[in-house]
Structure 1
Amino acid sequence: MSRSGPDAVVMIVDDVPANLAMLHDALEQGGYTVRVATSGERALESAKLEPPDLILLDALMPGLDGFETCLRLKRELGTRHIPVVFMTGLTDTDHVVRGFQCGGVDYVTKPIRPQEVLARIAAHLANARQMAESQQAADAAGDAIVAIDEERRVRWATPLARRWLKDILDADERLPIALRQWVGKDQETSCVWPTRERRLVFSRLGSARGGDQRLLIQSQAHVPEPEALVRALKLTQREAEVLHWVALGKTNVEVGGVLDMSPRTVNKHLEHIFQKLNVETRTAATTVAINKGRAGTSPADA
């Protein structure tokens, strides 16, 4: 869990000794444990070995500059959660925007004003602690929740979510393209992604601190194909097609659009399905389709 107050560890990354000394003294007087790095490369090595609670990062350094250093921190699962506050003598808007695009949470301009830096650090450490506590609560509840950044890259995930996502994320831990596109479509409340073992249903939980988008993932058993439903439940081909799409969560209007029939005709088919399955609701029919429909699946269909 991220620490705040006297237990917090702050790393200062700057290639100018005078800046390091001044900030080191100010932070120690503020009650923080301080670590220093004089280059982006050393900062990355140190952060991976033992992640600090916050990083004060000089934007312009020889070699690996602060922007690239921040990008690399955010690509690593073990360090992407660390709040990064940029230090820069540049007030140009493009450089400020670039810092945020790299994953920074804030920036301070040089010459550094220690009291301002201390206030900003305290605020961001408090935010990070609240986020960590929220994540721990989700872990304890056993929920499958994932937070993604603007590039649709996983920032953090509960253990269950990470297990379900491990086979569908790309090398940069980004969601598949279709899921990335869905995240940007506010009008679509959920998205289904089939895997070898289950159907993953993604829905939005809102934005987390720092602008990350939180998603809830729910697992659903695979719905048998219509042919399997015909064999197992003695339905007509058309009834089996309607039940298949109903079991996938489609409304009568949506099923009608898929099967090129009116919603009223869909409803008539559902009435016949309910009678044959001896059920009264769509949920009950879906349960029968999933449980008994598998019996009609041949080894070649599996």
Structure 2
Amino acid sequence: MPAGAIDRNTADVVLIVDDVPDNLAVLHDALDESGYTVLIATDGETALQRAAQAMPDIILLDAMMPGIDGFEVARRLKADEETAHIPIVFMTGLTETEHVVSAFNAGGVDYVTKPIRVQEVLARMSVHMQGARQARHARNALDAFGHASLVVRAADGRIVWQTPLARGLLEKHFPDGRLPSEVGSWMRAEGERRLNGQPSHPLVLSLARQGAEQPAALQRPHRLIFTLHEADDDEWLLVMRESSDQAVIDAVGAAFGLTAREAEVLYWLAKGKTNRDIGDILGTSPATVKKQLEHVYQKLGVETRTAAASLAMNRVGALGQG
């Protein structure tokens, strides 16, 4: 459990954010009597800190506060992957259309007007918390079955939510834990294919690095495979799967009587890499790669890169790894 988090086996957690003490007191007492664990914040900065630390199940957020107002608090919470899933119910005395629209645009799922009617707040909270709980259970179920899943906003590729497995894979392979640009391009192409009634194609990223702490010479190629499972105009559900190519390299090496390093060189040759690329991947020089390829050509009985790559690709295809 993260530091500062609260055990939800005992009670659902509500964060109330309001700069008026009387409003806080009324809501705190009513929610406490209803069995909730209640946290409070009297300003936007404190609200952001408490939300990040405690991960409440829902936030009741005053729209108009000095300093960081409720709209900005909501925007920041929704921009953070860790807190984006928390439902936010705005509390406001402003009922003009522009303020209601601002509340929803900032990420609110609902709003209640002041003066606060406690029973109405409880009823609305129950609905939104049930939806959030179902979404959390769905994410946990995906992880339990080994699916590294994430929902991505179609408009800009931003991750809306992700399972811990998905987060782990992204952090393992990409320094900032974010989706690489190739995924965005693939998503746009998949959108076009779906509009045209064509079948989806998975995206396969070949990744030579398995961790910065590992020497380049010991790193082994992996593939990260993205598949599209659901899509609508706003959000896409993607599933990632990691696949190590080491078994393929070993099989190719055994088939052609190659050393481990020669098999790796042939593998990357079949992937269309240049000698310089292969050298960068394996932590050696292009000249060394050239010498190893000469040995590979001799063992395969070929004279060109194209012929060697063709034999390797045929072997990979026979293994069902193409």
Q: Distance in 1 between matches of 2:125 and 2:139?
A: 21
> Residue 186 of structure 1 aligns with which residue?
191
Could you say what secondary structure the match of 1:214 adopts? strand
Q: Which residue of 2 aligns with 1:201?
A: 225
Contact 2:151–2:235 at 8 Å: present in 1 too?
A: yes
Measured at CA, do residues 234 and 134 of structure 1 come closer, stay the same or move farther in structure 2, by a change above 3 Å? farther
1:126–1:167 CA distance, 2 compared to 1 (3 A):
same
User: For 1:55 and 1:137, how far apart are their aligned partners in 2?
Assistant: 25
Partners of 2:32 and 2:83 lie apart in 1 by: 23
* 8 Å contact kept, 1:67–1:102: yes
Amino acid at match of 2:168: R
State how 1:32-181 maps to structure 2 within 5 Å: 32-149=36-153, 151-166=156-171, 174-181=178-185
Displacement, 1:216? 0.3
Give how far 1:40 is off. 0.8
Other-structure match for 1:285: 317
Q: What is the rounded CA distance, in whole Å, between the counterparts of 1:18 and 1:62 in structure 2?
A: 17
**Whole-angstrom CA distance in 1 between matches of 2:75 and 2:20:** 22
* CA-CA distance at 1:212 after TM superposition: 5.3
Distance change >3 Å, CA 207–CA 113, structure 1 → 2? farther
Q: CA deviation at 1:72?
A: 2.5
- The two structures have a TM-score, normalised by structure 1, of 0.66
Q: Among 241, 263, 272, which residue is 1:218 paired with? A: 241
Q: Which structure has more RCO (C-alpha within 8 Å, separation ≥ 6)?
A: 1
Aligned residues: 251
Runs of 5+ consecutive residues of structure 2 not aligned to the other structure = 194-199, 209-220, 246-266, 274-292
For the structure 1 residues 113 and 181, does the alpha-carbon distance in structure 2 shift closer, same or farther, using more than 3 Å as the test?
A: farther
Identity of aligned residues (%): 44
For structure 1, which segment, 222-231 or 95-104, has the greater mean C-alpha deviation from structure 2 after superposition?
222-231
> In structure 2, what residue type is equivalent to 1:202?
F
Contact 1:4 1:129 in 2 (8 A): no
User: Please, what TM-score do these two structures have when normalized by structure 2?
Assistant: 0.63
Question: Is the CA contact (8 Å cut-off) linking 1:5 and 1:122 kept in structure 2?
Answer: no
> How far 1:37 sits from its partner (Å)?
1.0
Do the aligned partners of residues 198 and 102 (structure 1) sit closer, same or farther apart at CA in structure 2, a change above 3 Å counting?
farther
Q: CA deviation at 1:85?
A: 1.5
Structure-2 residue corresponding to 1:299: none
* Alpha-carbon offset, residue 167 of structure 1: 5.5
